[in-house]
Amino acid sequence: MQILRLLESFEIGHVQAAVKQALSLGAIGYDAVKHLVLCRIEKRPPRLDLDIYPYLPKAMVETTNPASYKVLMPGTVT
């Protein structure tokens, strides 16, 4: 939810690119995505070198079917 709230302050293109980059780095979290968005805007390289944290688990994220979220819409019956 926090990542979606970034859209209140930043362009969708920046947030989308940052999410893709975070996924490729295995750094899926609000702080990482926000950092990557800011780096894109400020045109500076990100400082997310996860190689120095070998004890952190690698994230495995699968693609969700957007239709799965229909149940969150008012008046939708499953």
Distance from the first to the final alpha carbon of the chain: 23
User: Is the pLDDT assigned to residue 57 strictly greater than 80?
Assistant: no
User: Is the pLDDT assigned to residue 55 strictly greater than 60?
Assistant: yes
User: Is the pLDDT assigned to residue 76 strictly greater than 70?
Assistant: no
Helix ranges (DSSP H) in 6-64: 12-25, 30-42
What are the pLDDT digits (tens) for 8-53?
999 999 999 999 998 888 777 888 899 999 999 999 888 776 676 6
* Amino acid (1-letter code) at residue 41: I
User: Is the pLDDT assigned to residue 78 strictly greater than 90?
Assistant: no
Question: Which residue, among 52, 46, 44, has the nearest Cα to 33 in the 3D structure?
Answer: 46
pTM comes to 0.62
| Encoded tokens for 50 | 């996860």
- Average pLDDT (59-75) is 81
3-state helix, strand, coil in the chain (%, to 5): 55, 0, 45
Cα 8 off chain centre by: 14
